[in-house]
Amino acid sequence: MPDYDPNASEHQSWVPVDPESDFPIQNLPFGIFEKPGRGVRPGVRIGDTVLDLAELKLAEGNTLNGLASCAREIRRRVSWLLNAANSELRDDAALQSRSLLPIAAVETRLPFGIGDYIDFYSSLEHATNVGKMFRDPANPLLPNWRHLPVGYHGKAGTVILGDRDIRRPHGQLSKDNQTSVVGPSRRLDFELEVGFFLNRSTALGESIPVASAEEAIFGLVLLNDWSARDIQRWEYQPLGPFLSKSFATSITPWVIPLDALAPFRVAGPAQDPPVLPYLQQQGARNLNIELEVWLQPLGETAPMCICRTNFSGMYWSVAQQVAHLTSNGASVRTGDLCGSGTISGSEPDSFGSLLELTWNGARPIHYPGGAERTFLEDGDRVIIKGACVGAHRIGFGDLSARVLPA
Amino acid sequence: MPDYDPNASEHQSWVPVDPESDFPIQNLPFGIFEKPGRGVRPGVRIGDTVLDLAELKLAEGNTLNGLASCAREIRRRVSWLLNAANSELRDDAALQSRSLLPIAAVETRLPFGIGDYIDFYSSLEHATNVGKMFRDPANPLLPNWRHLPVGYHGKAGTVILGDRDIRRPHGQLSKDNQTSVVGPSRRLDFELEVGFFLNRSTALGESIPVASAEEAIFGLVLLNDWSARDIQRWEYQPLGPFLSKSFATSITPWVIPLDALAPFRVAGPAQDPPVLPYLQQQGARNLNIELEVWLQPLGETAPMCICRTNFSGMYWSVAQQVAHLTSNGASVRTGDLCGSGTISGSEPDSFGSLLELTWNGARPIHYPGGAERTFLEDGDRVIIKGACVGAHRIGFGDLSARVLPA
């Protein structure tokens, strides 16, 4: 299969895949799953079926860290194995019965052993909205923002799978910015983000140039950077967010290979002023991923879409983030996770957090059943969806979790 | 040995220990070492000798994570094994030849697999100095500072052993706070800190109460939180320090069990206003650890002590840091590392960074050989020392590294 391209839209699989599925043969995301009696294994998802990579002797291990460096080859091999034109596995009922599992029969696990988790702040519209609300409406963007992808380190140990419900955190809250009380956060929020995992480790002192930075990215997930706005406001000066974010960060379990997103490249916004040479990236640097947030308040019969936006509008690209992250010689490790920062568009219904959608609580969201929301209440369900849509569809699956009482 | 107390000052070991050593039988720090042909193993240090815990079948593994939960019992057993009053190992030449190694024959390794690295900001004097320099000399402390131990997440992947030299980092530097250039940091600094490792993992949603927080601490190390002040100044708003700190954080290889520091408890400063109930700690909450920083500029024949301070003056204690860290329900993992933040006293020669010692470069340090320092220059060596001194001495060993050119 010398010229085989796993991204070709004409490929069909002999595994049944719903035409609306997020996971056609062109996607083939990697994940870690457990099946009682079979242990924890790496797999690839197609439609509502999981291919057991250990059973096929294509990979092993209870994280994706070990296979990250050869994921491209494995995806190509798996694509051909699942291709309707190839009889190898298609006509081997015994091997199929060992290596294919219905998605409902497995439990997903965290895909990677995560070394460091870094969160960026790369949406111009989000940074502008926050600056307008909390600093200077006339001059909302800090002077450094257009010169470097602002980021900070988050807590790797509380990155969890998206289907785990979220306990409302306690913390210090201050009304007067002088004294504080302890209590459950009253301004719990989501943040719509895309995350990516690194596929290699570097040595201390080594930088990854922007031109090859995408080669260091394994793939992408949807990410919800849960945030307690009231805790954040009191604690974050001068060293940044801490307990307001560290209680949980949710990700989707199936990691979409960056290769699968190649057909959905787009230019991204102009960068003005020009960025420094180490951040200058040639070609289409962004990805056209349609994103939605749905919120179902407790008591409402259905979720409502409260945000529609697109990853293509991000000011700083994933490659620029990787180049910046390593520009000081800091080493990275396979499984390091980077978040994009909240993804907001320019329209009021394209903002990626309740903070922005309700303008810090001033503009509640109204539901047909009577519910009104500024921030998240106990029992609310947040659902984040993402997909690339073109000649075929590459989706991420739903990131869906409920808020539990403190 | 029902009433055996490893901390008793009268204990003597049959292993020769210099009277000035940091590592008498009352200390017994844990570490990980490698010896060619023997692999990577856990050990305990006494004087200039390493006891191989694997050879004695007391522990195994290539990190301390696995033995953390039973370190107290192992330390008690090791203390008795090394006690001059006990013949077991003292009179077993064969077992001694297998289990004892001269320190010069081994290479130390990182003691723990570090999950998350959290850095606090718990010295009132340090926070005040920084506030005076960069914010408001009349009102240097932010309103939240006396209410919670301010902290942030750092990069776990670049925590390294103290004897590794440090490459000066590149980064974005700004003179006018509007535009920037890329170049080697010109304001490279050390930060004198004490770090501690956690000895247990908690579940998401679980908090560690301040009263039992010390039980969750394995032990302490010296920590140098290398900082590029010029990179930091441009990048750190609004989400905190990132690349200005992430290039390296150095620690000593031998982790002093918190138990060994029990004889050196002291009250710590009064906390005014009173702290919230979840941070209220009974009894002597601080540790009397004498700390020094020595700096040897390239070309000078000897290092000079440029800072003498004490860990006892810290406003927030290690127990309060652990309680705060978990107060939002964030889980922790064995091997998580916390730094105290820069440790500064009230006198100008007790400040724990060059930023403070030279008052942001305005007051250079002069050397007998003619060298003058504001920030670190290539070839400079920074040596941090720490010890508890009383009826016996518990020391940390030197944290000593040189600055390499960018």
pTM confidence score: 0.98
Whether the CB of B405 is below 8 Å from some CB of chain A: the reply is no
CA atoms within 13 A of residue B1's CA, in its CB half-sphere = 14
Question: For the segment A215-265, what is each residue's pLDDT rounded down to a tens digit?
Answer: 999 999 999 999 999 999 999 999 999 999 999 999 999 999 999 999 999
Per-residue model confidence (pLDDT) at position A331:
98
CA distance to A188, A294, A297, A304, A373, per residue, from A369 (Å): 22, 15, 10, 11, 12
The total of other beta-carbon atoms located within 10 Å of residue B368's CB is 9
DSSP state of B174: -
Chain B residues lying within 8 Å of A207, measured CB to CB? 170
**Pick the catalytic residue: A126, A147, A153, A170?**
A126
Per-residue model confidence (pLDDT) at position B142:
97
Mean pLDDT score, B63-84: 97
Chain B residues lying within 8 Å of A155, measured CB to CB? 116, 153, 330
Whether the CB of A141 is below 8 Å from some CB of chain B: the reply is no
| Mutation choice for B interface testing from A135, A239, A331 by most B CBs within 10 A | A239
d(CA A61, CA A53): 10
Whether the CB of B332 is below 8 Å from some CB of chain A: the reply is yes
Phi, psi angle pair for B69, to nearest 5°:
-75, -15
- With cut-offs at 50, 70 and 90, classify the pLDDT of residue B382: very high
- With cut-offs at 50, 70 and 90, classify the pLDDT of residue B186: very high
CB contact under 8 A, A154 and B153: yes
Q: What is the mean pLDDT of chain B?
A: 97
**Residue A11, C-beta contacts closer than 8 angstroms, at least 6 positions apart:** A25, A26, A79, A83, A84
> Do residues B225 and B241 touch, judged by C-beta distance below 8 A?
no
Chain A residues lying within 8 Å of B276, measured CB to CB? 172, 180-182
d(CA A116, CA B246): 11
CB contact under 8 A, B144 and A180: yes
Question: Which ipTM score applies to this complex?
Answer: 0.97
Per-residue model confidence (pLDDT) at position A65:
98
> Do residues B332 and B323 touch, judged by C-beta distance below 8 A?
no
d(CA B61, CA A114): 21
CB contact under 8 A, B330 and A158: yes
Which residue in this structure is represented by tokens 């924890």?
A: A40
Q: Which of residues 34-63 of B touch A (CB under 8 A)?
A: none
CB contact under 8 A, A143 and B177: yes
pLDDT exceeds 70 at position A1: no
Residue of chain A with shortest Cα separation from B113: A115
Checking A361-366 for CB contacts under 8 A at 24+ apart, the result is A361/A187, A365/A295, A365/A304, A365/A306
Per-residue model confidence (pLDDT) at position B2:
64
What is the torsion angle, in degrees rounded to the nearest 10, for the CA atoms of residue B34, residue B40, residue B42 and residue B46? Answer: -10
- With cut-offs at 50, 70 and 90, classify the pLDDT of residue A37: confident
Question: For the segment A125-182, what is each residue's pLDDT rounded down to a tens digit?
Answer: 999 999 999 999 999 999 999 999 999 999 999 999 999 999 999 999 999 999 999 9
The total of other beta-carbon atoms located within 10 Å of residue A78's CB is 24
CA distance to A4, B191, B236, B379, per residue, from B406 (Å): 45, 20, 22, 11
Which residue in this structure is represented by tokens 């033995």?
A: B67
DSSP state of B72: H
Give, rounded to a whole angstrom, the gap between the first and last alpha carbons of chain A: 55
pLDDT exceeds 80 at position B335: yes
d(CA A273, CA A280): 12
Q: Which of A33-42, A48-57, B17-26 has the lowest mean pLDDT?
A: A33-42
Residue of chain A with shortest Cα separation from B334: A157
In angstroms, the separation between the Cα of residue B390 and the nearest Cα of chain A is 36
Chain B residues lying within 8 Å of A171, measured CB to CB? 327-328
pLDDT exceeds 80 at position B177: yes
**Nearest CA among B221, B197, B209 for reference residue B338:** B197
- B324: annotated active-site residue: no
Handedness of CA A250, A252, A257, A263 (dihedral sign): negative
pLDDT exceeds 90 at position A336: yes
CB contact under 8 A, B237 and A276: no
Question: For the segment A69-105, what is each residue's pLDDT rounded down to a tens digit?
Answer: 999 999 999 999 999 999 999 999 999 999 999 999 9
d(CA A380, CA B218): 39
d(CA A12, CA A26): 9
User: Which DSSP string corresponds to B189-205?
Assistant: E-BEEEEEEE-----TT
Mean pLDDT score, B85-103: 97
Whether the CB of B150 is below 8 Å from some CB of chain A: the reply is yes
Chain A residues lying within 8 Å of B207, measured CB to CB? 170
Q: What is the mean pLDDT of chain A?
A: 97
Whether the CB of B182 is below 8 Å from some CB of chain A: the reply is yes
- With cut-offs at 50, 70 and 90, classify the pLDDT of residue A188: very high
Mean pLDDT score, B348-377: 97
pLDDT exceeds 80 at position A55: yes
**Residue B216, C-beta contacts closer than 8 angstroms, at least 6 positions apart:** B198, B199, B200, B208, B322, B332
Chain B residues lying within 8 Å of A121, measured CB to CB? 239
Whether the CB of A203 is below 8 Å from some CB of chain B: the reply is no
Chain A residues lying within 8 Å of B160, measured CB to CB? 204
DSSP state of B237: T
Nearest to A151 among B171, B239, B276 (CB): B239
DSSP state of B98: H
Give, rounded to a whole angstrom, the gap between the first and last alpha carbons of chain B: 55
Chains A & B: contacts with CB separation below 8 Å: 187
What does the H/E/C string look like for chain A? CCCCCCCCCCCCECCCCCCCCCCCCCCCCEEEEEECCCEEEEEEEECCEEEECCCCCCCCCCCCCCCHHHHHHHHHHHHHHHECCCHHHHCCHHHHHHHEEEHHHCEEECCCCCCCEEEECCCHHHHHHHHHHHCCCCCCCCCCCCCCCCEEEECHHHEEECCCCEECCEEEECCCCCCCEEEECCCEECCEEEEEEECCCCCCCCCCCHHHHHHHEEEEEEEECCEEHHHHHHHCCCCCCCHHHHCCEEECCCEEEHHHHHHHEECCCCCCCCCCHHHCCCCCCEECCEEEEEEECCCCCCCEEEEEEEHHHCCCCHHHHHHHHCCCCCCCCCCCEEECCCCCCCCHHHCCCHHHHCCCCCCCEECCCCCEECCCCCCCEEEEEEEEECCCEEECCCEEEEEECC
d(CA B341, CA B257): 20
Nearest to A242 among B151, B158, B248 (CB): B151
Mean pLDDT score, B158-166: 97
Buried b (16+ CB within 10 A) or exposed e, B195-215: bbbbbbbbeebebbebeebbe
Q: Which of residues 255-284 of A touch B (CB under 8 A)?
A: 273, 276-278
Residue of chain A with shortest Cα separation from B404: A205
Whether the CB of A324 is below 8 Å from some CB of chain B: the reply is yes
Chain B residues lying within 8 Å of A248, measured CB to CB? 204
